[in-house]
Structure 1
Amino acid sequence: MSQQHAVGVIQTLGFPAVLAASDAMLKAGRVTLVYFDKGESGTFVIAIRGPISEVRPSMEAGLKAAENTFGGKVTTHYTVPNPPDNVVAVLPIDYTEEVEQFRF
């Protein structure tokens, strides 16, 4: 990848909150959803990638949407401006063939 892209991660309690967060994040900026997984005790995790100037407003929109969802609760969130290549290689946050078609 020629340009480093930021990573934004949100973990919610309940599926409706993570769905609302995902929807808001993708509509708020030119970002790509690169990861989704179910955690324990009803938590869900999503990760987005894109330029930091796009990830920051997308994260704000996602957090707001998740918290405004009935019963929704954000359990944790984090943004990494420019993850090192070795972190991208090990963690499931890289652009895969599956999501490459949706990449900006």
Structure 2
Amino acid sequence: MPMAVGVIETLGFPAVLAAADAMVKAAGVTLVYYGLAESARFVVAVRGHVAEVKTAVAAGIAAGEEAYGGQVITHYIVPNPPENVESILPIHFTEKSEPYRIF
């Protein structure tokens, strides 16, 4: 089954925290990346099977928007990222994320 990556960018930390929390609780995904984009924008990425990532991103968007003052700026899902994208961008499983890998 193909692996997907889903990314949500928010304005402010509370929104990204709410999004990350909702994503891992809503579906069988693993949080693989979190970071500061710029100007108080935060990014969170999850990996899992395509259907699970779609469910997780939808839940993360809703939670990010519901956080007080929260704003989801953008989001995107890549159903099956090629190896060269995976090896360059910070979307792969790491030693930190591996213990929490769902599949």
Structure 1: 4+ residue segments shifted above 2 A: none
Contact 1:4/1:83 (8 A) holds in 2: no
State the match for 1:9 in structure 2. Answer: 7
CA RMSD, 1 decimal: 0.8
Q: Which structure 2 residues correspond to residues 32-71 of structure 1 after superposition, within 5 A?
A: 32-71=30-69
C-alpha separation in 1, matches of 2:3 and 2:79: 7
Mark the runs of 5 or more structure 1 residues left unpaired by the alignment: none
Counterpart mapping for 1:62-101 below 5 A: 62-101=60-99
Q: What secondary structure is seen at the aligned counterpart in 2 of 1:98?
A: coil
SS in 2 for 1:26: helix
How far 1:4 moved relative to its partner? Answer: 3.4
Q: Write the distance in 2 (CA, Å) between the matches of 1:76 and 1:55.
A: 15
Spell out, residue by residue over 1:46-81, the C-alpha distance to the aligned partner (whole angstroms, 9 max, x if none).
Answer: 000000010001000000000011100011110000
Identity %: 57
Q: Give the TM-score taking structure 2 as reference length.
A: 0.96
Measure the CA separation in 2 of the matches of 1:22 and 1:28.
10
Structure 2 residue runs without a partner (length 5+): none
